[in-house]
A = this chain, B = another copy of it.
Amino acid sequence: MYSVSIDLDRRCYDICIGRNIDLVGAILASKLSAGKAVVVTNAIVGKLHQDRIVAMLEEVFEEVLVIQLPDGESYKTWDSLNHIFTSLLNWECDRKTVMFALGGGVVGDITGFAAATYMRGIPFVQLPTTLLAQVDSSVGGKTAINHPLGKNMIGAFYQPRLVVCDLNTLETLPIRELRAGLAEVIKYGPIADIGFMEWLEGSVDKVLAKDSSALAHVVQRSCEIKAWVVSQDEKEAGLRAILNFGHTFGHAIEAGMGYGVWLHGEGVAAGMVMAAELSRRLGLVDAAFVERLTALIARAGLPTKGPVLDAADNAGRYLELMRIDKKSEGGEIRFVLIDGPGKAVVRAAPDALVREVIDACCG
């Protein structure tokens, strides 16, 4: 087992990465034993992993309860959250109850937000079962639900007490989801570690074949980079925003297509190409780098072009959707751009140039 620590003032926690991780030992080491444990999962993940996890938790907790949500981003809503609250209250869960998010990004985000706000905050543990969640969403404390007018608009920065990335759970992950998770892995190279991008260029086929040591390196290095960024800037006042490389365009794609049509990672993949192209047109990076990044994204089996969201005024529709992004300020869209390979910068760009990029990179 490999372990990465997140250091946030006095709230330090571990990310355990490996196979056959001793969950009981990790919980005891994090001083999380209590009366009740509540596992939140979805029907698909629950079927695969729930019995094993519950059996382990029963060694540490007096009572282990399970909440199964329907699967999918479209259920990351107030209704699902309220279902969790009602269950917790009906079970008389107190402030010492520990919640466990067993699943991908949706389960992690909603469980984290439930833990952040139930009785003003109870401890929770992330048990991510998708590559996306292991390399990105389970680490760093961003929790949220969607609002009909915007994704992740209601949420909190709330750190888990422990993250356990069991690589075994990736065995059953559908290939489309593995590819989508890879988008967030690819992201780390251009913004922070060009050496990691080089390694990926040589290893992407192994990763897609679920080679054990390649997967382990992918999760470890991604968590290390994310942990470093988050420890510099927990609340996204500055540096942390670079983790949203590709996300401004990507969120517009997800929203414009209707959530769930494109997976988050698929939107981010096409969005990274667009953000790299915008960087090039602003003179920050050369064409060779854009081609190199595009090639890696294509080899991962991810889209390199954005969809047409509006046949009449596609760029206008993208701009409209991007203006309600959480990073926008006073209606000005903030883009994460590549300022030379391995370095990111957050800045605005002229609408006309953004339109050119959208026209060139969609369809």
Using a CB–CB cutoff of 8 Å, the interface residues on chain A facing chain B are 9, 35, 78, 82, 85-86, 89-90, 92, 94-96, 116-121, 142-144, 147-150, 153-157, 235-236, 323-324, 326-331
Contacts and interface: CB of A to CB of B under 8 A. Distances in A.
A324 B92 contact: yes
A109 B54 CA distance: 37
Contacts of A148: 86
Contact of A117 (B92, B95, B154, B327): B154
Given A85-B154, A149-B89, A326 B95 contact: yes
11 contacts: A78-B78, A85-B154, A89-B147, A89-B149, A92-B331, A94-B329, A94-B330, A95-B329, A96-B330, A121-B156, A121-B157
Contacts of A154: 85, 117-118
A82 B154 CA distance: 10
Contacts of A82: 78, 147
Contacts of A149: 86, 89-90
Given A120-B142, A147-B85, A92 B323 contact: yes
A265 to B, nearest CB: 21
A147 B157 CA distance: 22
B157 A144 contact: no
Which of A92, A119, A156, A235 has the most chain B CB atoms inside 10 A of its CB? A119
Contacts of A142: 120
A236 to B, nearest CB: 8
Contacts of A143: 120
Contacts of A90: 149
What 3 pairs across the A-B complex have the smallest Cβ distances? A89-B149, A120-B155, A119-B326
A35 B120 contact: no
Contacts of A96: 329-330
A237 to B, nearest CB: 9
Contacts of A89: 147, 149-150, 153, 324
A143 B120 CA distance: 8
A85 B323 contact: no
A315 B35 CA distance: 26
A212 B331 CA distance: 45
